[in-house]
Structure 1
């Protein structure tokens, strides 16, 4: 059982009540990222799937629509409609055929051979071939492209050496089009989750014409996809419209006349648009329902509101190369001085679970859920211990007092309320002042990558169903490791787990790696996500998978 001082809970309850009360104060909402007054344009939806446009909010401008450069769920949500990998996921997270109609795995588990559908086409009518996949995957590995997700190809022979510039010979990379319909992939070692990776957006193909236009991914007219939909309009920072791709091989299963995405930052405005029939979907993964409204909506909209636990973690990360966060005791002090239960009960209110580790529930372990097998009791909340660690850490840094620092988060009512609650807990419990600053999501991503922050809000959802999707992030110099954390012992454990074909050995190595991560604390776990969303009656076959990604591609409408 996790222990926490009663004073911590009492103080947390008082300060959170104050913060939530402010958050509940009615105010006039104007949508500065959407149409006038935050309203979506277009007529009210009605009728059947014929002519029906599905409307949802994505909160902000996507950081990119180049699959090689994607790293956020806004871009990923759009990629679901515009692009398609060799496989796709069903509602249970299982890999099913997509652009690849079939595949074979060698007996040693190190070679995959994919057969590309002969009727697979790009949105401009060109055939999709195995050569397109070879081109796209090697492009994502090209150091000049700068993909932060290139490491997800390192399971493939020669991929890491090419990405790290140790060779310029692309023929040495184990990705080869044997003919127009056959793609052969050679792995370094058996990788049980490799097939799952082939539906991840960095594995999506891009049309080879992109090499002639560096700005291709910023304009609806130059984005050529192979998915169920294609982009018809992109009003930057306002909206994106998709229409069915008439060249898609499975177009008979695409029922919507289009999908409209608005970019409304204010959660109250988003909810108002849903309630006035300007949106068909509101909430996670790319929107937000005001936390204080969730208990009310569970009563008034019980047939529309859904709460779903997902395999994702919400956390703050430290820049461990900056004073004072280059001291582990300081990092631990901040992690131990907050009340996570108070945050999920009184601020977020969506059924989240306090986290004391990084890998969330919902990820497969040895025989059952990894989080059931490996308890997340790596640290506890304890104000007295936090004060002691902070004093020791500052003394080691020869600092008379805690310096001025800033917590940065992407623009969102929810993230702001969490940040306000946490900095107040730090003030009450540790006597330190931490400023807060909001940034547009794309800006925050760039600043995190450039290590231009002190404390930053972050979240991580599964790319595939294995603990490795969380733990390989923090290898030294990793594309997603923008904390400065480096541990040879940690790196060795990740390497051992990746090289092993024995699942028990893999899980043991990853368990030790997570312990090291929590011991050094480059990140501060806060909670495991639970997504809350609402969907209008009549909409069918729109779902969130185990990791919280939305699939609307085969959705349809049937009037009740």
Structure 2
């Protein structure tokens, strides 16, 4: 659909020239003794059509998967989730408040422009600027970057944001509070740079393949909406000599069974996920293809607390208590997921949680409490509760929604009308507050509890439930200023307790990452809990 027949041809020509170089030169990241296939191309399922490929205008996992290949931030992650240099060769701080990053002098954009500190300044100011309307603007507030809150609210201009280019290859960041994990936060999609000249020249059209300029391992070759996104090697990438895959294709397959069938037919190398009902069979019949790995991600339903009757805590608690999480985790999804009674996954670094009282009851006891709470709120046979349950198009999400709606109907006499929307419409409905109860999932942007808990802050751009609690916000403030890890952990524990008490969301289960992976695909990261897969680190092994 979109293809630059001149500029891209020159880039691809250069890329292919490099790609035909001896693999002994290119494959420094490939273990000794591994023979590489002649054809180095990967096809990856990506769940749905992406909302955009603009890093400052997206909020979803499908978008991040593609952007991670196109754009490189200050740091990357290895297969175990450990930080490694990206555009930044090194960084330092003496107080966890002022951070200095030293950028590679050989980093270039795909059009040949050097990648400079000013590119990050521009991108981060753009992220904070209310004119951009970024769904991830609040992420900068989470970093405590100087003046971020005032810039996002329009009280100060973007050029007051606490980031500056000391020179072309030195970036200085000033935070308002010490954040020892700040560097890990810069891995996130929203913090990746964009080429100012290109963005200002083409406006919203800069993400079209004929205009897209990237600084990552790949360039955007072709994008056919609802069909495929094709990436090819970026000859100007600073570490191109260590990239092996020449071509990466992302397919927006929403139906998990269709995706599974295409994998089994050899058309897909990595699936986005797996159909829940086929998991056991696939483990038995194709054990070499099934990969189940840790994943810092929570599945939950969120209430629109700004809308009656979900402004009533008793209604929210009743619906939450009536969900049999064991049934959902073990039988509806059943790939190793664990029932969730708190928001933050228990495997998160430094997390301690005191489970809420309702988690210690039997399901029968929870249902009885739910009935009583709903009656106290004024709902029952004479005044039945009915509302819409929104979810994004997916057979797996549909099965969970059907099961939970059935539990509500059977246990409480409540009617949930299922409403599915395609990804872009679903996101827009949530941002506009056009929902009653909505399916949600949140995956850690870094391995620390604040990546989950902060989105429930009053005014956070991802706080779709419109949860407002001064007590909750104060607990997160205490975590930021904590004198010790123990104090920080205690503040997070208190915050989780408040979420359980106020119930703006219904945690349902904590994910594992289960997908089908071609055994010939080398370098697949099995110990990265954030599931950050960089195609530049992958390769196809010869038969």
Q: 2:355 aligns with which of 348, 356, 376?
A: 376
**Aligned Cα RMSD in Å?**
1.6
The structure 1 residue matched to 2:373, chosen from 370, 383, 389, is 389
Q: Indicate the residue corresponding to 2:406 in structure 1.
A: 424
For 2:353 and 2:97, the matched residues in 1 are separated by 29
Question: How big is each residue's C-alpha offset from its partner over 1:466-501, in whole Å with a ceiling of 9 and x where there is no partner?
Answer: 111111111111111011210111111112222334
Corresponding residue of 1:17: none
Alignment of 1:472-491 (within 5 A): 472-491=454-473
Match of 1:200 in 2: 188
Alpha-carbon displacement from aligned partner over 1:94-146 (angstroms, at most 9, x marks no partner): 111110011111x2221111111111011111110001111111111111111
Counterpart contact for 2:273–2:516, Cα < 8 Å: no
Q: Deviations over 1:302-342 (max 9, x none)?
A: 11211123111000000011121111101100100111111
1:140-179 matches, cutoff 5 A: 140-154=127-141, 155-168=144-157, 170=159, 172-179=160-167
Matching of residues 276-425 of structure 1 within 5 Å: 276-282=265-271, 287-365=272-350, 370=351, 373-380=352-359, 381=363, 382-394=366-378, 400-425=382-407
Does residue 89 of structure 2 align to residue 101 of structure 1?
yes
Aligned equivalents of 1:376, 1:445: Cα separation in 2: 31
The match for 1:57 is 45
Q: Residue 288 of structure 1: CA displacement?
A: 2.8
Partner in structure 2 of residue 452 of structure 1: 434
> Among residues 434, 448, 454, which one is paired with 1:466 in the alignment?
448
What secondary structure does 1:384 align onto? helix
Name the CA distance, whole Å, in 2 between partners of 1:403 and 1:218.
45
Q: How does 1:73-84 map to 2 (within 5 A)?
A: 73-84=61-72
Contact preservation (8 Å) 1:493, 1:512: yes
Q: CA deviation at 1:376?
A: 3.0
Contact preservation (8 Å) 1:87, 1:98 = yes
Q: CA deviation at 1:266?
A: 1.4
Per the alignment, residue 120 of structure 2 pairs with 133
Structure 2 equivalent of residue 240 of structure 1:
229
- 8 Å Cα contact 2:128/2:158 also seen in 1: no
| 1:552 to 2:535 alignment | yes
Query: SS of 1:268's equivalent?
Result: helix
Contact 1:356 1:378 in 2 (8 A): no
2:259 pairs, out of 270, 283, 286, with 270
Partner of residue 7, structure 2: none
Instruction: Give the superposition deviation at 1:351.
Output: 0.8
Aligned to 2:417: 435
Q: How many Å apart are 1:399 and its aligned residue?
A: 11
Structure 2 contact 381–413 (Cα < 8 Å) conserved: no
Distance change (3 Å), C-alpha of 1:141 and 1:399: farther
Deviation per residue, 1:142-162 (Å, 9 max, x gap): 111111222222211122211
- Change in Cα spacing, 1:299 to 1:133, as seen in structure 2 (3 Å) is same
* Distance of 2:372 and 2:497 partners within structure 1: 22
Distance 1:511 1:297 in 2: 38
Distance 2:210 2:347 in 1: 39
Instruction: Verify: 1:260 aligned to 2:260, yes or no.
Output: no
Q: Which runs of 5+ in 1 are unaligned?
A: 1-46
Could you tell me how far 1:403 is from its partner in structure 2?
A: 3.6
SS at match of 2:529: coil
* Maintained 8 Å contact 1:161/1:167: yes
Would the aligned equivalents of 1:49 and 1:257 in 2 still touch at CA under 8 Å? no
**Per the alignment, do residues 528 and 169 of structure 1 end up closer, same or farther by CA in structure 2, a change over 3 Å counting?**
closer
- How far apart, in 2, do the equivalents of 1:314 and 1:402 lie? 27
Q: Distance in 2 between matches of 1:518 and 1:377?
A: 6
How far apart, in 1, do the equivalents of 2:249 and 2:516 lie?
16
Deviation of 1:218 after TM superposition, in Å, equals 4.2
More divergent stretch after superposition (377-386 vs 461-470): 377-386
Structure 1 residue matching 2:399: 3-state secondary structure: helix
SS in 1 for 2:342: coil
1:156-194 deviation line (CA, Å, top 9, x unaligned): 112221111121261x32201011011011111210110
How far has the Cα of 1:217 moved from its partner? 4.8
TM-score normalized by the length of structure 2:
0.89
Alignment check: 8 A CA contact 2:521 2:540 kept: yes
Question: 2-side partners of 1:394 and 1:225: how far apart?
Answer: 56
Cα distance in 2 for residues equivalent to 1:169 and 1:288: 39
- In 2: Cα distance, 1:553 partner to 1:421 partner: 40
Q: Does 1:495 align with 2:483?
A: no
Q: In the alignment, what sits opposite 1:223?
A: 212
Q: Is the 8 A contact 1:330 1:394 kept in 2?
A: no
Per-residue Cα deviation, 1:369-399 (whole angstroms, up to 9, x for no partner): x2xx32433533411110000111126xx99
- Counterpart of 1:110 in structure 2 is 97
Distance 1:356 1:166, change over 3 A: same
